[in-house]
A and B are shown apart, each in its own frame.
Chain A
């Protein structure tokens, strides 16, 4: 509570946030229970469909890359910014990783490190344009969104695909460690790191402060530009990590990697209660948002009606949108209701014109 800019609004914001996350948790549990009953079948002694352990692992595996992007976007959106380029950057990093390994004959470990570096540099490009030239993040990353994907397609002529990765690399995306998919450990590790960054350090508080009032934060002596640069560079780095995991999961690196993932990630972040205007939000909300979308996407594929009609993908797009709208409405409704009640009460207590603060 040391920032003057945020001290007046933070308690109210937090109350809404907590309520929002509770609602979302309820939605997640409800989804899961519904799919467990609607999407599980038994054939002889074998359980099939949603209620299997493999299915839970698949949910984790399929959510991992979008989850990483959502984590990276949470602090970005907290500062009132946006990064539309993360999905495209995945495509660029995936094919550069493939090229470094297959054409430049880098050892795999080195290729991974180099790719992560490239991701950070690409994030740095966003950061430079946003902080040095003071261009709006939406426009900057809209530009790099096309630039990164275009580069990836140009380098591969839109057709080259890198495959034949060794099993030691595919382990990262297809095997398990201590019972959990390998990439789930990475995802949880990154989640913990972001949680520390956003909730346990002064960095996190400065992100919120910048999101609430960038000028205020600047006057309060915060290094706004450096903080902003940090979140965009981190976003690039994490996108590269997501690209590597994606490549390992599919066993192929192609320029179309991560197409449209930026929108899923933004949806997860906003669903998780982070305000698109900045200032309010949390990593655990984002985690819930990612899981809610992951369970929905996976679960729909097990509902008999959806299977019969073959409309899993369409339904998941539709319901993800509906979920977002419901969650947002659910979060705002109590506030509107209490405002309305307060106004009525005020009106009754003080008939003469009042001057509320």
Chain B
């Protein structure tokens, strides 16, 4: 029977925890007074919470830098937190944490649309405004999505940049991730449409998969150059394929003769861009993405951004278009020799 006292102790303690928690609802001001010491009366400052998919990624750290700049300009209290690895469960737990902390606006890059939406709807029910950026949640779980790039924007920019480098004529090839990947497929469709519409003298000779792996893309690129001796440019539309293609061109001794462009991150392409193998890398300006997101969050909380609006003004970046409930960051950003060293992700 010796074990009973401690069992009751546990039960009692658990009950006590809940009772005092219940009490906390009505008589919490006492402890709170000491807790909220730094800013007791300044309850008016907006609280905006920003969540990345994973907080250690260079990509999101640069988003954060832009967000902090906007927060400083607007005088809002910005917090940045997220899972250390891309983890939907952690994202939910952090959103639920923010709900009880009483944030005014929550901005999330969703790891999984449905997974996060449950928590976001809960936030909305608690009167918190919700935005998504980078990766959307379900439509009814947020007010706006800050959309960094439309497939058309990416396709057009890639095609225009290729045409500029090729002088408007010649052969080029595309290295994709896999021929079935839906986002790659849609970029490819926009590229082909743009070619047909604007560049009749440019010929897309083939589209080959590199399985989003650098080694494989490199092999594929080497084969491309021997199969198509007149190839003027390789366009890599999967991030791992850009440095892969560049390495192949470098080793084939065809730097300058076969140009390389692609969709990717600055850091992994810096060596190739700086040495002139890769001409341009296309993505969006992640700092601007964070900046715009915080401006949108601020406007949403103040009521100056409402459903149905067609545009939004974001500080020094000017005005952005809103399509339906997507706030568009606009044209993709072209990283080249002149600017790539300013970015670190």
Binding site for B on A (CB under 8 A): 14, 18, 21-22, 25, 28-29, 32, 36-44, 46-56, 58, 62, 161, 163-164, 170, 174, 195, 199, 246, 249-252, 254, 256-257, 259, 282, 284, 287-288, 291, 298, 301-302, 304, 307-308, 310-314
CA–CA, A298 to B92, complex, Å? 12
Q: Is the CB of B7 within 8 A of A29?
A: no
Report the nearest B residue to A17, measured CB to CB: B6
Chain A residues closer than 8 Å to B38, beta-carbon distance: 304
Asked if B88 is at the interface (CB within 8 A of a chain A CB), the reply is: yes
Q: Is the CB of B28 within 8 A of A47?
A: yes
B55 in the interface, Cβ–Cβ < 8 Å?
yes
Distance between Cα atoms of A246 and B32 in the complex (Å): 33
Identify the stretch in B96-104, B233-241, B336-344 within 8 Å (CB) of chain A at 4 or more residues.
B96-104
The reply to whether B97 and A288 contact each other, CB–CB distance below 8 Å, is no
In the bound complex, CA of A38 to CA of B20 (Å): 15
The answer to whether B21 touches A28 (Cβ under 8 A) is no
Residues of B within 8 A of A307 (CB): 79, 81, 101
23 pairs from A and B in contact (CB 8 Å cutoff): A21-B9, A22-B9, A32-B17, A36-B31, A40-B24, A40-B35, A43-B43, A47-B28, A49-B35, A49-B101, A50-B100, A51-B24, A53-B22, A56-B17, A58-B100, A163-B112, A195-B7, A250-B88, A251-B117, A252-B115, A254-B112, A256-B87, A310-B55
Task: Specify which of B6, B18, B32, B93 is in contact with A56 (CB 8 Å cutoff).
Answer: B18
**Cβ of B14 < 8 Å from any Cβ of A?**
yes
Docked Cα-Cα span, A73 to B189, in Å, equals 53
**Binary CB contact string for chain B from 100 to 138 against chain A (1 if under 8 A, 0 otherwise):** 111000000000111101100000000000000000000
Interface residue? B3 (CB, 8 A): yes
Please state if B2 and A14 are interface contacts (CB–CB under 8 Å): yes
Residue of chain A at shortest CB distance from B8 = A284
- Is the CB of B317 closer than 8 A to any CB of chain A? no
Instruction: Given the known inter-chain contacts A250-B89, A254-B88, please indicate yes or no for A37 contacting B114, CB distance below 8 A.
Output: no
Task: Give the chain A neighbours of B33 by CB distance below 8 A.
Answer: 42
Interface residues of B: mostly helix, strand, loop or mixed?
helix
Decide: A25 near B17, CB < 8 A? Known: A259-B87, A314-B84: no
State whether B79 touches A18 (Cβ < 8 A). Answer: no
Hey, what's the 0/1 contact readout for B18-30 against A, CB within 8 Å counting as 1? 1011101100110
CB of B10 within 8 A of CB of A284, answer: yes
Which residues does chain B contribute within 8 Å of A195, judged by CB atoms? 7
- Kindly identify which residue among B14, B25, B92, B99 contacts A53, using a CB–CB cutoff of 8 Å: B25
In the complex with contacts A49-B100, A58-B96, A312-B94, A42-B10 CB distance below 8 A: no
Set A48, A164, A302: member contacting B114, Cβ < 8 A: A164
Inter-chain pairs besides A36-B24, A42-B28, A52-B24, 5 sampled, C-beta below 8 Å? A36-B31, A41-B36, A53-B22, A251-B114, A314-B84
Asked whether A41 and B115 contact (CB < 8 A) given A54-B100, A312-B94, A313-B90, the answer is no
Which 10 A/B pairs are nearest by Cβ-Cβ distance? Answer: A163-B114, A51-B24, A48-B102, A310-B81, A42-B32, A252-B115, A301-B97, A47-B28, A56-B21, A37-B31
> A51 and B88: CB pair below 8 A?
no
**Contact of B57 with A by CB under 8 A:** no
Contact A313 B28 (CB under 8 A): no
Answer whether residue B34 sits at the interface, using C-beta atoms and an 8 A cutoff: yes
Q: Is B80 an interface residue (CB 8 A)?
A: yes
| Known contacts A174-B118, A310-B79, A302 near B97 by CB under 8 Å | yes
Once the chains bind, are B13 and A25 in contact (CB under 8 Å)?
A: yes
Closest to A32 in B: B17
Chain B residues with CB under 8 Å of A199's CB are: 3
Say yes or no: is B83 at the interface (Cβ < 8 Å to chain A).
yes
B340 vs chain A, min Cβ distance (A): 28
> Which residues of B lie under 8 Å from residue A32 when comparing CB positions?
17
B residues less than 8 Å from A302 (CB atoms): 97, 100-101
Per the bound structure, the CA–CA distance linking A288 and B14 in Å amounts to: 9
Of A37, A49, A163, A195, most B-chain CB atoms within 10 Å: A49
Bound-state Cα–Cα, A25 to B10, Å: 7
* Among B14, B82, B100, B112, contact of A252 (Cβ-Cβ < 8 Å): B112
A296 to chain B, nearest CB (A): 13
CB distance from A182 to the nearest CB of B (A): 14
What is the CA–CA distance of A228 and B274 in the complex, to the nearest angstrom? 63
B9 cross-chain contacts in A, Cβ below 8 A: 21-22, 25
**Contact mask B34-77 → A, CB, 8 Å, 1/0?**
11101000010000000000010000000000000000000000
Measured between alpha carbons, how far is A312 from B60 in the docked complex, in Å? Answer: 17
Closest A residue by C-beta to B115: A252
| Pairwise interchain contact A250-B35, C-beta atoms closer than 8 A | no
Please measure, in the bound complex, the distance between the C-alpha atom of A52 and the C-alpha atom of B28, giving whole angstroms: 9
In the complex, per-residue mask of B226-238: 1 if CB is within 8 Å of any chain A CB, else 0:
0000000000000
What is the CB-to-nearest-CB distance from B63 to chain A, in angstroms, rounded to a whole number?
13
Contacts of B31 in A (CB 8 A): 36-37, 40, 51
Contact B35 A161 (CB under 8 A): no
Q: How far is the CA of A1 from the CA of B317 in the complex (A)?
A: 77
Find out whether the CB atom of A312 lies under 8 angstroms from the CB atom of B97.
Answer: yes
Closest to A60 in B: B18
Q: What is the chain B residue whose CB lies nearest that of A306?
A: B81
A-side contacts of B79, CB under 8 Å: 307-308, 310
Bound-state Cα–Cα, A108 to B17, Å: 35
> What's the nearest-Cβ distance from chain A to residue B118, in Å?
5
A313 touches B114 (CB 8 A): no
Bound CA–CA A291/B84 (angstroms): 23
Task: Kindly report which residue of chain A lies nearest to residue B90, judged by CB atoms.
Answer: A313
Residues of chain A within 8 A of B88, CB atoms compared: 250, 252, 254, 256
